[in-house]
Structure 1
Amino acid sequence: MTFTRSLCRYLAIFSLAMPATAEVEVTPFAGFRMGGEFDTRNDADDSESRVKLDDTVSQGLLVNIDLQEPGKQLELYLGRQETTADIPQGLLSPPRDRVDITLYQLQFGGLYFPGGKTTGGFISGVAGVTRLDPKPSGLDTHHRASLTLGGGYKFPLTEQLLLRLDLRGIYTVLDSGGSVFCSGGCNVRFESSGYLQVEAGAGLAFRF
């Protein structure tokens, strides 16, 4: 529900910010996401462990709206990654050494083109929420604040079609002391303040 409410909120902001005659770009993208490690602490024996997310493919959707000021666009970023977390022995009960997790990002921000156009090199910055959704039943889903910074290049192929390349860093905040993927009387807590992932992506932008 939190993720759905956030999506509705961002879409409302996006609609209000859209100039009446603005052009819109919609970019489905595919990529590869690397990194993602965070520390945990077991309150039962005060032991510390590290959980690592596997490097896997990612996909998503980017929506951009031209602003009146040249070289600037609003951006809505929707990202998704199916990955697996390597779980240290004794962290979960019943014991599991690997847990499948789907990560979702819903973020809002903008692009800046130093050249003053909406093609060529750009810098991107968006912020919002990450949803950590473990697959096994009985494990908790978490929603955490996240920030994405990056850059890329848009190559015009036609007036309505562009090739977009991105390299972005995605930082997800983990409140130290919050529970890990378990419910009930879980003794395991997030010990890290957050984790960083790097995503390289490419997509075709359709301009309307």
Structure 2
Amino acid sequence: MILTRSLCCYLALLPLAIPAVAQVELTPFVGFRMGGEFDTRDDTDESESRVRLDDTVSQGLLVNIDLQEPGKQLELYMGRQETTADIPQGLLSPPRDRVDITLYQLQFGGLYFPGGKTTGGFVSGVAGVTRLAPKHSNLDTHHRASLTLGGGYKFPVTEHVLLRLDLRGIYTVLDSGGSGFCSGGCNVRFESSGYLQVEAGAGLAIRF
């Protein structure tokens, strides 16, 4: 709830930072996301296990708005990945060794272009919320803080179209000791402080 309120406050202040006539970019992207593993503990017998997320395709939308200072843009990052978690034996009841899960990111931050333009190389940083949503109805959905740092390059194709390439690291905070996947009661706890994924993506930015 606190993270959602903070994001709403950032969005409410956007008009104060955006020039009266600002250039906007919309970039649908596809990518490939790798990595993501974290430790859990079963409270019934104190056993510890490691959950691993499969490497899969990701997709999403990037929204960028030019700031008055050259070489800087606001960025809204919305990402989605359908993956499968490899579950150690005995962690869930009834037993499952794989659980389909969808990860969503909603993050806000900015881009910086060392060259002072809105094309060429850039570094990026956004922060917000990750939603972990298992597809099984008896498993809980979780919302956790997350941070994404990365870099990339924008190649101008035409006056209003750019090819954007990104490489980003996405870190999701799990809060060690918080509840984990639950099934027939909540005996599973996160033991990791978080997990890291790496995403390589590409998209066409429409600038207007």
CA RMSD of aligned residues (A): 1.8
Tell me the equivalent position of 1:147.
147
Determine the C-alpha separation between the residues in 2 that align with 1:163 and 1:22: 20
CA distance in 2, matches of 1:94, 1:34: 28
Q: Are the structure 2 counterparts of residues 164 and 199 from structure 1 closer, same or farther at C-alpha, using a change threshold of 3 Å?
A: same
**Any conservation in 1 of the 2:93–2:184 contact (CA below 8 Å)?**
no
1:22 alignment partner, SS class: coil
- 1:116 is aligned to 116
Match of 2:180 in 1: 180
Contact 1:3-1:131 within 8 A present in 2 as well: no
Runs (5+) with no aligned partner, structure 2 = none
Separation in 1 of the partners of 2:28 and 2:9? 21
How many residues are treated as equivalent by the alignment? 208
1:123-162 to 2 correspondence within 5 Å? 123-162=123-162
Hey, what does 2:206 align to over in structure 1? Answer: 206
Give the Å deviation of 1:7.
7.0
Amino acid at match of 1:41: R
Deviations 1:127-186 (A, max 9, x none): 000000000011100000000000000000011000000000000000111111215631
State the AA in 2 paired with 1:145: A
Partners of 1:37 and 1:51 within 8 A in 2:
yes
Q: Please give the per-residue CA displacement for 1:44-87, whole angstroms capped at 9, x wherever unaligned.
A: 11111000000000000000000010000000000000000000
Task: State the partner residue of 2:51.
Answer: 51
TM-score by length of 1: 0.94
Structure 1 pair 15/135, CA: closer, same or farther in 2 (3 Å)?
Answer: farther
Runs of at least 5 residues in structure 1 that lack an aligned partner in the other structure: none
Question: How far 1:96 sits from its partner (Å)?
Answer: 0.8
Task: Determine helix, strand or coil for the equivalent of 2:165.
Answer: strand
Q: Which residue of 1 aligns with 2:105?
A: 105
Is contact 1:7-1:106 (8 Å) kept?
A: no
The TM-score with structure 2 as length reference comes to 0.94
